Amino acid sequence: MKTILQVLDMTHMADEPTEMMELIDDEIVRCTNAGDLLGAGEWLASKLPYADEDEFEDIFCKMVAMWASPLELKVLPSYAPELALKLDEFVPEELAVSLVASTWRLLHFGHSLQSVATDLTFRLSEPISQIFGVETRRPGDLCKAAAAKLEVVTGELLSAIDAFIGTKCVTAKIASIEVVKKSHQLKRLALAEERPILSEIDVLLGPTFRKFCESCERHETKRIIRRIPDLKEQAQRCISLPGHRSNSTLWNLTVAQIARHVVQLVDEASRKTEAAITPSLKLATNEFKLDLSRLNREITFSCRLVNSGEGHALKVTVEPDLAGLPIELKILEPKAAFDMATESEQILTFAVIFRSHAPLLDIPLEWKCTTLTGRGHVDADSIMIHQQRVQPDWDSLMQDPPYSINPIKNRENLFGRDTVLKKLLLHAYGGTSTFLWGQKRVGKTSVLQVLASELEKKETSACVVLRMGELAALHEGQIAYTIAERLHQKIGKLDINIPTEQEFGAGLSKLIPFFENMVHECPDAKFIVIIDEFDDIDPAFYTGQRGKLFVKALRSLSEIGLTFFFVGSERMGSIYTKHAVDLNKWVDVYLDCIESIEDCKDLVVHPVVGAIEYQPECVDFVVDYCRGNPFYMHLFCSEVFKRSWQDQRTYVSESDLHGVRQSLIRFLGETNFSHFWDDNPIIDEPEKAEKAAENCLVLSCISALGGSFESVDDIYFPRRIILALGFQSGSRAGILAVW
């Protein structure tokens, strides 16, 4: 173990041993006068490398006496016999520990005990054995064994401290626990004046420090900030106000080292949390287009403020610099100062009044807020307002809305479906009956209506579109009669009489000879029947023996020239697979969302081209948010158009879209989304309803998790909550209603 002289790096302060001895003597006197007997003993131990052989006993005896006298120095012997005569002046346990500590110092510098401590060791053998846990043996060996154990335990503590000093905030906890554990082991063997020093380690690395480390591991910024001041104050007080402890080798090698590293860890955490508590406020887009010619009238516009920093922003306000600008600007919503969490957004509504015309306005802004530590923070920003397009003919646009959630009929308004439309036209001209299926609200009805419109342009085509509202209550014979009647009307005057509804009976079979006559009368004509929502028809039509007869009749009709297009949702694939053997010449076509990004962009921009301008990022947002689904893109853009008409604005910014998104989320009904859980390929109705309930439960769990999850296990906890709430409500429907 180092001497206090070495620890304080004072070995270079004297060239000659005599000079060094004088320096040490001065320190011994200073410590003794100050009542610092632990420090006096440490300085005495520093004389061992420089002392002559005949001085060792004097140094040794005085070290033992000083360290065994924690409160008052009652005797200062120069010889072992003198010390032995005064044993009753000391507490045996304190004297035993002092004797072992002094022996360790003496042995450390290669000096033998010889007969110096033999008598003392013999008299103190019992407390030495009890304290240090060594067996009773010859006095000289007993003291050496105890000194060796003291050296080992001290070395383990210093090694633990070295390991602790090499840690960071997130790795310090385990190392600190090891330091505390080793300090407790040494405390049982330490000098009376060293035990309070070791107790300081418990304070420095106690529960507060461990919780600080845990907060660092979990990146809990608020808790880190709350604990930093106390930890730093405590550690700095240890370092800056050591008092007599500065003369202790143990204090300098343990508490001082630990306190300095705690300060470093706290500073490290402060730097990290400084970044973590610092917000960064900026408008998502700072360019807007308004009608700058509308003077002295309040115009409102929305924008999106983004906190991209890692810290929370508290009491956010804005200060625009309007010096020299002919405008008034204020925030309407939110009315008061607001808070923003890290990586969050806030929709703002500004009101602006233009006092004179200007082609462009550049308005400097300052976002002011308070961080979690109470420190003020300012972010510079700006708003640039350009002149928007001239006002279009809003009345004409409202009479013929550019976006519609109803099925499309004209090919020029159908975006992203050219490939599938050409394929279906080829099937129609080639007589290939087709199952067209896909998820609901993906645009199947629009495709079939445009298909019918294109076929009707051909004089040789007779195309009939039948909807489920027309067919749902009919049996097979009535459906056959309806098809015959509608095809007859399409062709016009024919010398063919349509059998009565009663003559068609209850099946499709009577339609076969009738249609053969039509083909004979019109050999060049193309006969096409399109049935929408076919999978909503009575399942008996395509299941069981009745279903087999129905399908065989369809096959016969298609073989003699009647081309069918059955359109429906996800059960269509199962129906086709079930009857694939009989319908081996039929094909199925799956319709999904629009794949082409450019086609999606055209769907957004083209209907209002020349009237309303979209910010380029807005178009990308709509396409991505709706995932290329034409129904939802029309629905979203229809709401954007309504807002533009209400505000008489011809420019759509990114913030406008976020307002529309929030509005749709609040007000759209279940029917716009129910297909996500209701649609499934199961044909059997009870099983289909059960699968729909399972789908709904899973989707509710995913929604409760924020829309994403890492593993299936993540779904189980919200699932249990939803099921419990549902069953408490008294019905299975309550599972969904409560949620």
C-alpha 133: how far from chain center: 55
Amino acid occupying residue 177: I
What is the residue-averaged pLDDT of the chain? 86
SS3 391: coil
Quick: pLDDT tens for 529-564: 999 988 888 888 888 888 888 899 999 999 999 999
Quick: pLDDT tens for 586-618: 998 999 999 899 999 999 999 999 899 998 888
pLDDT on residue 164: 94
User: Would you place residue 201 in the very low, low, confident or very high pLDDT band (cuts 50, 70, 90)?
Assistant: very high
The least confident of 305-309, 461-465, 569-573, 718-722 is 718-722
Cβ contact 675:443 at 8 Å = no
Pairwise CA distance, residues 523 & 290, whole Å = 63
Cβ contact 255:204 at 8 Å = yes
Q: Give the angle 46-50-55 at the CA atoms, nearest 5°.
A: 90
pLDDT on residue 717: 61
Quick: pLDDT tens for 683-713: 677 877 788 788 877 887 777 776 777 677 7
- Residue 483 vs residue 712, higher pLDDT: 483
Residue whose entry in the numeric block shows the structure tokens 């554990």: 181
pLDDT on residue 394: 85
Q: Count of alpha carbons within 13 Å of 117, Cβ hemisphere only?
A: 34
Tell me which residue of 669, 652, 665 sits closest to 625, measured CA to CA: 665
Pairwise CA distance, residues 591 & 629, whole Å = 11
Quick: pLDDT tens for 50-68: 888 778 888 888 888 898 8
The least confident of 458-462, 497-501, 574-578, 725-729 is 725-729
- In this predicted structure, the answer to whether residue 297 has a pLDDT above a threshold of 50 is yes
How would DSSP label each residue in 464-507?
EEE-HHHHTT--HHHHHHHHHHHHHHHH-S-S-PPPPHHHHTTS
Positive or negative, the CA dihedral 44, 45, 46, 49 is positive
- In this predicted structure, the answer to whether residue 734 has a pLDDT above a threshold of 70 is no
**Residue 666, class by beta-carbon neighbours within 10 Å (0-12 exposed, 13-18 middle, 19+ buried)?**
exposed
User: Would you place residue 365 in the very low, low, confident or very high pLDDT band (cuts 50, 70, 90)?
Assistant: very high
Quick: pLDDT tens for 146-160: 989 999 999 999 999
Between the two ends of the chain, the Cα-to-Cα distance in Å is: 69
Pairwise CA distance, residues 501 & 738, whole Å = 50
- In this predicted structure, the answer to whether residue 113 has a pLDDT above a threshold of 70 is no
Residue 1 DSSP code? -
pLDDT on residue 87: 82
* Residues 289-299, mean pLDDT to the nearest whole number: 88
How would DSSP label each residue in 32-52?
HHTT-HHHHHHHHHTTTTT--
- In this predicted structure, the answer to whether residue 256 has a pLDDT above a threshold of 80 is yes
Structure-token pair, residue 485: 């009647």
pLDDT on residue 735: 38
pLDDT on residue 210: 93
pLDDT on residue 309: 87
- Residue 540 vs residue 444, higher pLDDT: 444
Tell me which residue of 400, 412, 444, 452 sits closest to 603, measured CA to CA: 412
The bridge status of strand 327-333 relative to strand 344-354 is antiparallel
Cβ contact 66:31 at 8 Å = no
Pairwise CA distance, residues 24 & 718, whole Å = 73
* Alpha carbon distances (Å) from 604 to 6, 599, 624, 629, 633: 80, 9, 12, 12, 7
User: Would you place residue 723 in the very low, low, confident or very high pLDDT band (cuts 50, 70, 90)?
Assistant: low
Contacts of residues 218-224 at CB distance under 8 Å and 24 or more positions apart, as own/partner, are: 219/276, 221/273, 221/276, 221/277, 221/310, 221/311, 221/372, 222/372, 224/269, 224/273
Structure-token pair, residue 72: 């008052």
Tell me which residue of 4, 526, 513, 485 sits closest to 251, measured CA to CA: 4
Maximum average pLDDT range among 362-376, 643-657, 699-713: 362-376
Cβ contact 355:328 at 8 Å = yes
- In this predicted structure, the answer to whether residue 280 has a pLDDT above a threshold of 50 is yes
* Residues 273-291, mean pLDDT to the nearest whole number: 85
pLDDT on residue 589: 92
User: Would you place residue 472 in the very low, low, confident or very high pLDDT band (cuts 50, 70, 90)?
Assistant: confident
Residue whose entry in the numeric block shows the structure tokens 């599972």: 735
Q: List % helix, strand, coil for the chain (3-state, nearest 5).
A: 55, 15, 30
pLDDT on residue 189: 93
User: Would you place residue 45 in the very low, low, confident or very high pLDDT band (cuts 50, 70, 90)?
Assistant: confident
Pairwise CA distance, residues 49 & 85, whole Å = 28
Pairwise CA distance, residues 194 & 174, whole Å = 24
- Residue 360 vs residue 114, higher pLDDT: 360
Residue 682 zone, left/alpha/beta (φ > 0; ψ -120 to 50; rest): beta
pLDDT on residue 567: 92
Q: Which phi and psi angles does 393 have, rounded to 5°? A: -80, 90
C-alpha 408: how far from chain center: 40
Q: Which helix (H) or strand (E) holds 382?
A: strand 376-387
pLDDT on residue 739: 36
* Residues 18-45, mean pLDDT to the nearest whole number: 88
- In this predicted structure, the answer to whether residue 289 has a pLDDT above a threshold of 50 is yes
The answer to pTM > 0.75 is: no
Residue 289 DSSP code? E
Share of the chain above pLDDT 70, in %: 94
